[in-house]
């Protein structure tokens, strides 16, 4: 999938996703953002096996219906707030998705709480963020947490 957005790490990416991955993305966006995500196509549980003369999940009408429904990614990625959503970037660009890892918002909150407990000042936070990658965190997670820490708590 090609992109012209500067916020993406690469100009083009090709990843495989299951419908369940799309469902996870939809849930993540609805939980953590203001993006309105269109509905996904329904599951074809009753059509897993060809019964009664149809072709089951390989029937053309079902495939077309699901293909149309999965155009949601184009609509979602085209939203004005989409460039700010890390989960969308990961969905579109990362080879594998890990549904068991903590959500980024939770990780950032844990980092903020830890930093507040050790009373690092803003300058020290910036130095730590620039010191190099931290195992288990995406490259700029610490820097984003420090930006949040510098923001006025009343915002």
Q: Find how far residue 59's CA is from the centre of its chain.
A: 31
pLDDT band for 83, please (50, 70, 90 cuts). confident
List own/partner pairs for 30-35 with CB under 8 A and 24 or more apart. 31/103, 32/85, 32/87, 32/103, 32/105, 33/81, 33/84, 33/85, 34/81, 35/76, 35/79, 35/81, 35/82, 35/85
139 and 88 inside one domain: no
Q: Is residue 77 part of a domain?
A: yes
Residue 71 vs residues 11, 29, 40, 76, 103: alpha-carbon distances, Å: 20, 16, 9, 9, 25
DSSP conformation letters of 29-60: HHHHSSPPPPPPPPP-GGGSS--TTS-GGG-H
68 and 131 inside one domain: no
88 and 126 inside one domain: no
pLDDT digits (tens, 9 = 90+) for 99-127: 544 455 566 667 667 766 666 666 666 66
55 and 74 inside one domain: yes
79 and 119 inside one domain: no
Q: Is residue 9 part of a domain?
A: no
Structure tokens at 10: 């690469």
pLDDT band for 140, please (50, 70, 90 cuts). low
141 and 111 inside one domain: yes
The chain-wide mean pLDDT, for the chain, equals: 68
Q: How far apart are CA 133 and CA 31, in angstroms?
A: 28
Instruction: Give the domain extent around 37.
Output: 19-93
Residue at which a domain ends, from 51, 66, 93: 93
Cβ 107 vs Cβ 141: under 8 Å = yes
Res 107: pLDDT: 65
Q: What is the mean pLDDT of residues 41-53?
A: 57
Q: Is residue 115 part of a domain?
A: yes
What whole-number percentage of the chain has pLDDT above 90? 0
| Burial status of residue 99 (CB atoms within 10 A of its CB: 0-12, 13-18, 19 or more) | exposed
Helix axes 122-130, 141-150, angle to 10 degrees: 170
User: Is pTM beyond 0.75 here?
Assistant: no
110 and 77 inside one domain: no
- Per the structure, how many domains does the chain have? 2
Res 66: pLDDT: 74
71 and 121 inside one domain: no
Q: What is the mean pLDDT of residues 119-137?
A: 63
């Amino acid at each position: 999938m090609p992109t012209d957005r500067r916020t993406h790490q690469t100009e083009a990416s090709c990843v495989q996703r299951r419908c369940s991955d799309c469902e996870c993305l939809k849930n993540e966006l609805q939980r953590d953002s203001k993006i309105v995500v269109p509905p996904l196509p329904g599951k074809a549980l009753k059509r897993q096996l060809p019964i009664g003369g149809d072709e089951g999940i390989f029937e053309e009408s079902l495939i077309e219906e699901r293909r149309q429904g999965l155009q949601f990614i184009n609509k979602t990625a085209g939203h004005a707030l989409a460039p700010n959503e890390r989960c969308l970037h990961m969905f579109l660009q990362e080879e594998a998705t890990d549904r068991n890892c903590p959500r980024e918002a939770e990780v950032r909150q844990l980092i903020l709480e830890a930093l507040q407990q050790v009373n690092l000042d803003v300058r020290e936070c910036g130095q730590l963020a620039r010191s190099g990658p931290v195992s288990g965190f995406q490259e700029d997670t610490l820097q984003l947490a420090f930006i949040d820490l510098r923001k006025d708590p009343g915002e």
